[in-house]
Amino acid sequence: MKDLSFSIDEIRSQFPILKRTVNGKKLVYFDNGASSQKPQCVIDIINNYYCNENANIHRGVHFLSQEATTNYENARETIQHYIHAKESCEIIFTRGGTDSINLVATSFGETLQKGDEILISFMEHHSNIVPWQMLCERKELVLKVIPIHSTGELNIEAFENLLSEKTKLLAITHVSNTLGTINPVNYLIKKAHTVGAKVLLDGAQSIQHFPINVQELDCDFFAFSGHKVFGPTGVGVLYGKKELLESIPPYQGGGDMISKVTFDKTTYNELPHKFEAGTPHISGGIALGKAFEFLNNLDSEAVIQHERALLAYAEEKLMQIDGLKIIGNSKHKASVISFIIDGIHPFDVGTLLDKQGIAVRTGHHCTQPLMDFFQIPGTIRASFAMYNTLEEIDIFIAALQRSIDMLK
Ligand code: C6P
């Protein structure tokens, strides 16, 4: 049963780190795009796993091994239901979003032929650029890049022109980690499918902000990291359509991913194990399941409204600051704001904000081509989560103004 009320105090009370001070000030954590904080239930389940349940999975007949296996597989099912995948075998545990994309580049990439084209966009994170560059070099494929408008929105006309029968994969971010842009993925996926291309959505910055339904989206792959969605680091997920995952070769070789090994020939395990070589991050998978249970207990519509209010309030306040320019003004944005200030380096602002207890990210945000597009060295980025408050934004704005006054 969902708790349909959204009590910010109740939510904040579940995140112990939010009570701490940094440099003598109450922590204001606005670096959720880099990594989210963890609720007590996620921390507790990791602790409990190592105190009471630790064992390897899928291998032992003994009680602890079977218990750990059940908990790990239950977590897979929780994630399956959260993103509305048809079957739990479509949920592959990986080391994180980067690893998920590399899995597709390696395994799906193996099925591509010289001259085939891969389409990405100008606003991709390096994790959704470099694996494709490496693949293109290895297999003599062609990488094409969809340009964007100065608003930070995708150039749809250019996308349509770049798409052709040669396009085998569209690999695109759902939400830009730097601009906050929410891409029109429903349209992009439909259109890509008309030429027979598969679609990988990089969901690293979307899954923590709004519900995901991979069947409705009809994406072929969906990749994300656990640590950005209130779970631990070192674990992530690749969703893939079952038939597609079955048709591509394994990613890595090792234990658990095999059916039978002889020196003459090795056959592979069924999904999802075919893609999960070696002992996985067991406590991480279990804890990621718990993070999704935590999300399941919230009213997602209330979370969306709250984050929208944070974004609107912060943008309104920031725009009142002299010489400040917001980078990324898409009509549809998640609660991520990048900005620059005339004559001041982002790093200096980030450092002074930190002295006042405020955590933001500064720099290129692993999107260097995007920085080149805007002809800037980097931005200051405030990225909000559902536990942030309007009062924290007031503290941030006052601290930002103080920093600017010191630097000018
Ligand atoms: N972006 C940020 O501060 P990993 O590092 O594997 O957990 O996630 C990679 C990744 C992939 N795609 C997008 C859109 C991302 O935003 C990220 C991670 C962080 O913006 C750290 S660089």
Q: How many whole angstroms from 61 Cα to the centroid of ligand 1? A: 38
| Per-chain mean pLDDT for the chain | 97
Q: What's the burial of 59, exposed, middle or buried (CB within 10 Å: 0-12/13-18/19+)?
A: middle
Token digits of residue 303: 């979370």
- Pocket test residue of 176, 177, 183, 384 for ligand 1, highest count of atoms within 8 A of CB: 177
Q: Which fold would CATH assign to domain 43-296? A: Aspartate Aminotransferase; domain 2 (3.40.640)
The arithmetic mean of pLDDT across residues 235-246, rounded, is 98
In percent, the amount of the chain with pLDDT more than 90 equals 98
Ligand 1 proximity of 225 Cβ (cutoff 6 Å): yes
Confidence of residue 36 (pLDDT cuts 50, 70, 90): very high
State yes or no: is 366 an active-site residue. Answer: yes
Q: Check if the beta carbon of residue 90 is closer than 8 Å to that of residue 245.
A: yes
- Cα of 157 vs its chain's centroid, Å: 26
Tens-place pLDDT, residues 54-88: 999 998 899 999 999 999 999 999 999 999 999 99
> What is the predicted pLDDT for the residue at 59?
82
Tens-place pLDDT, residues 194-219: 999 999 999 999 999 999 999 999 99
Ligand 1 proximity of 366 Cβ (cutoff 6 Å): yes
- Pocket test residue of 100, 121, 125, 371 for ligand 1, highest count of atoms within 8 A of CB: 125
Q: What is the largest CA-CA distance in the chain?
A: 72
Domain ranges of the chain: 8-30+299-407, 43-296
Ligand 1 proximity of 173 Cβ (cutoff 6 Å): yes
* Catalytic residue chosen out of the listed positions 51, 89, 219, 366: 366
Confidence of residue 4 (pLDDT cuts 50, 70, 90): very low
Residue closest by Cα to atom 16 of ligand 1: 177
Ligand 1 proximity of 130 Cβ (cutoff 6 Å): no
Q: How many whole angstroms from 81 Cα to the centroid of ligand 1? A: 24
Ligand 1 proximity of 97 Cβ (cutoff 6 Å): yes
What are residue 201's phi and psi, to 5 degrees?
-100, 130
Ligand 1 proximity of 94 Cβ (cutoff 6 Å): no
Q: How many whole angstroms from 175 Cα to the centroid of ligand 1? A: 11
Q: How many whole angstroms from 405 Cα to the centroid of ligand 1? A: 32
Q: How many whole angstroms from 125 Cα to the centroid of ligand 1? A: 7
Asked if pLDDT for residue 371 goes beyond 80, the answer is: yes
Ligand 1 proximity of 202 Cβ (cutoff 6 Å): yes
Contacts of 350 (CB under 8 A, 6+ apart): 360, 361, 362, 380
Q: Which fold would CATH assign to domain 8-30+299-407? A: Aspartate Aminotransferase, domain 1 (3.90.1150)
